[in-house]
Amino acid sequence: MPPLGEQSASPAVPFVQRRPRRSSVRHGQASCADYGCTRPECRRAASRARRRRDQDRLRGLSARVAPQAAARWAGRLREQGMSAQDIADRAGLSVTLVRRLLRTPAPSLTARDIARTTADAVLGIPLPARRSPTAPGLTDATEASRLLADLARAGWPATALARGLDVSARTVAEVRDQRPRLHLDLALRIRRLYRHLISLDPAGYGIHPADIARTRAAAARRTAGN
């Protein structure tokens, strides 16, 4: 026991914030480094975010702002056919944050402020051309999921389908595997792409044989697991 007035020396334990179990933060985002990730791309993103916050502080700007402007812009992006995941991918944010932003009530005075860097990232996404003005609204994803699964069994990778649909590969995988509803214009584009590709050989369109085999094997595992 140490003498009175003295404290026993103990090594400092570094604090590492625990990542939430359902977190959708990805590598390359500043918040990933906040959870203790030491990958170079995550640390660089965190450094850039700190510099932006320091610059805002020197200019007398608050680090946090009201969310309504970013929420309205995110809503417009969604109306033009972008999913929450598409917005998150373009802005470098987690899809959970984007979905929360999309739920922000416009006239609310109690909505929590968001980081200025988050608002700037969303507001900086250009408005895409409307994909199908005559097909608004949402529809059941069952048919689209089946068509995408059939294309996967035929050897068409999600990345190739994403290029043909003008969405991210993550969106293709979500519609194929888990999303219950999707925009009607995307459902129509999937139907048209299916009709065009299903009778074609992916190898004849620049898809590497190894990618074809990997896509077919993954589709077979998903089928066996259902």
Q: What is the pLDDT of residue 7?
A: 43
- Chain-centroid distance, C-alpha 181: 17
CA torsion angle 182 184 185 190 (round to 10): 70
pLDDT in tens, 163-204: 888 888 888 999 998 888 888 888 888 999 999 999 999 998
Query: Quick one: which H or E segment has residue 139?
Result: strand 138-140
Indicate whether this model's pTM tops 0.95.
no
User: Does 21 or 112 have the greater pLDDT score?
Assistant: 112
Q: What is the pLDDT of residue 175?
A: 92
Give the residue from 92, 73, 86, 104 showing the smallest Cα distance to 26.
92
Task: Check residue 155 and report its DSSP letter.
Answer: T
pLDDT in tens, 50-107: 787 777 777 776 778 888 899 999 988 887 777 787 888 777 777 888 888 888 876 6
Q: What is the pLDDT of residue 194?
A: 93
Tell me how far CA of residue 160 lies from CA of 128, 131, 152, 206, 208, in angstroms: 20, 19, 10, 10, 11
Tokens 């408005």 correspond to 127
User: Does 8 or 139 have the greater pLDDT score?
Assistant: 139
pLDDT confidence of 150, banded at 50, 70, 90? very high
d(CA 211, CA 69): 42
> Considering the chain, what is the average pLDDT of its residues?
79
Query: pLDDT at residue 14 above 50?
Result: no
Tell me how far CA of residue 221 lies from CA of 64, 160, 215, 217, in angstroms: 46, 20, 10, 6
Query: pLDDT at residue 129 above 70?
Result: no
Query: Quick one: which H or E segment has residue 74?
Result: helix 68-79
CB 27 within 8 A of CB 41: yes
Q: What is the pLDDT of residue 172?
A: 92
Position 34: which residue type?
Answer: D
Q: What is the pLDDT of residue 108?
A: 62
Query: pLDDT at residue 25 above 70?
Result: no
What is the 3-class SS of 158-192, one letter each residue? HHHHHHHHCCCHHHHHHHHHCCCEEEHHHHHHHHH
Q: What is the pLDDT of residue 9?
A: 44
